[in-house]
Amino acid sequence: MSPEQDTSPELTHFRDGLPRMVDVTEKAATLRTATAEGWVRLPPEARAALEGGTSPKGDPLTVARLGGLAGSKRTADLVLLCHPIPVTGADVRVTLEKAGVRIVATVRTTAPTGVEMEALTAVSVAALNVYDMLKAASKAIEITGVRLLSKTGGKSGDYTAPDT
């Protein structure tokens, strides 16, 4: 295929086949938000420990919320090509529902790049904390459904997941 026929998207994080951090120096700092969700499916014994308050490490939902907030601020340390950006607001909600523990994180910034990865990292770290807090009750806990629900701002525009 000739270069004129190539319609594949440019891989912005690679140059000459090697990874690089994209230069955002010239991009304007604008308001950006992102919301992500994830689930922790609990087998009966883990759910019983959570509902009964018998987790030996304390309250899993509170620890998960705090872990998610910390995760949102440490994304650039964990996701290697992410820019370190100022998280100007973060909200992590961790609720026990019939299907399991639902985690929803919303992150805000005014920066030249978005906060999708920060929201996804917040959800992931919160979910890992739920697992850690309840693993004594069951090793069959499952982390699932981590996804971006919405984002606003930036060159690519707004996004809302189709089934939200």
- What is the per-residue pLDDT for 9? 60
Sign of the dihedral defined by the CA atoms of residues 46, 51, 57, 60, in that order: positive
CB distance 43 to 126 below 8 Å: no
Is 133 annotated to bind ligand? Answer: no
Q: Does the annotation list 117 as a binding residue?
A: yes
Cα–Cα distance, 130 to 109 (Å, whole number): 26
pLDDT digit string (tens) for 128-138? Answer: 999 999 999 99
Known catalytic residue: 132?
Answer: yes
Question: Can you say how many angstroms the Cα of residue 68 is from the centroid of all Cα atoms in its chain?
Answer: 8
Rounded CA-CA distance 33/48 in Å is 35
Widest pairwise Cα distance in the chain: 64
CB 43 within 8 A of CB 148: no
Interatomic CA distance for residues 107 and 126, integer angstroms: 14
Q: What are the sequence ranges of the domains in the chain?
A: 28-152
Residue-wise pLDDT for 53-107, tens only, equals 988 889 999 999 999 999 999 999 999 889 999 999 999 999 999 999 999 999 9
Pick the CATH number of 28-152 from 3.30.565.10, 3.30.70.640, 2.10.109.10, 3.40.50.150: 3.30.70.640
Q: Residue 31: beta bridge partners?
A: 110
Task: Look up residue 79 and give its DSSP letter.
Answer: S
Q: Does 13 carry a binding-site annotation?
A: no
pTM reported for the whole predicted model: 0.88
> Which residue among the candidates 59, 77, 91, 132 is catalytic per the annotation?
132
